[in-house]
Amino acid sequence: MSTVRFDPTALAVLAEAYPAAPVTFEHKLAAEGLLTRAALAELAEFLPADSVEYNLGDLPLGVDPDKVERPALSAAEVIRQIDRAGSWMALKRIEQHPDYAKLVDEVLGEVRDVVAPRTGAMERCEAFIFVSSPHAVTPLHFDPEHNLLLQIEGEKVMTMFPVTDEAIAPPRVHELFHLGAHHRNLAWRDEFQARGRAFALRPGQGLHVPVKAPHYVRNGAFPSISLSVTWRSEWSCAEADARALNHILRRAGLAPRSPQQYPARNLGKSLAYRAIRRAGVVPRP
């Protein structure tokens, strides 16, 4: 018998919010053996170096990732000493390991009937694990994927901002990100704080993070482990294409309108950008 990670109430809560609104819900992954510190230390040793990102956790809310200092410890030792390592770590694309691939497939399989009727087939499915020392900070950034963040150990607070707030995430930053010319981190100003909404997460709670919603994370007083399962959709890919086309239009001296939010499909700009890309006029993002 397969393990059930989301009960009907959790799926109903997610269905009401997906894909446009953030919402918290319950899950049953906190006791998963593959998500213990010992198992994750072994996973860190298994993954290729470019799938393990870790750095010091005492960071400002707005920072260029190229200027973040790494700890002296190895990735596996950071996990083993996460109580006192003062670090933040991401294990990326954990589905590269067959045991974690099975776990990710099972988790995503349970939400597929919620997702598919709204945004279509789940594409480019990937998962990430975040391991953080007490009080570690993940700076302000956005992500291009649909995302369920599942808290496994410890507590954290994610402060999330509206996708449509272009003062926090200017159109030009979106556009350059999708062309591979800008990192995902965003500049921070203290006046942003009042425009965000804080979501406190404990073990057994999850949070739906809409595509491109700016957010930052502050860890609690104890080490934290979170699992993030992500996917792309026809809608999210069209949004990315529309952003890239807007960059071309902006360079031509025009002032294009930002892509519309779901359920608008942004199909015209998406098809136009794909045609330009196929013609070799611009590089593939």
Domains of the chain and any CATH numbers: 8-232 (2.60.120.650), 237-278 (no CATH)
**CA–CA dist 58, 78 (Å, integer):** 15
Question: pTM of the entire structure?
Answer: 0.91
- Smallest CA-to-CA distance from 176 within 253, 282, 63, 269 is with 282
Task: Please tell me whether the peptide bond between 263 and the residue prior to it is cis, using omega within 30 degrees of 0.
Answer: yes
Q: Check if the beta carbon of residue 90 is closer than 8 Å to that of residue 129.
A: yes
User: What are 218's strand-pairing partners?
Assistant: 137, 157
Q: Please list the ranges in the chain whose pLDDT falls under 70.
A: 1-2, 57-72, 281-285
CB 207 within 8 A of CB 201: yes
Task: Quote the DSSP letter at residue 131.
Answer: E
Residues 178-187 have pLDDT tens digits of 888 777 889 9
Chain centre distance of CA 241:
19
From CA 61, how far away is CA 48, in angstroms rounded? 28
pLDDT at 71: 58
φ, ψ for residue 145, nearest 5 deg: -105, 160
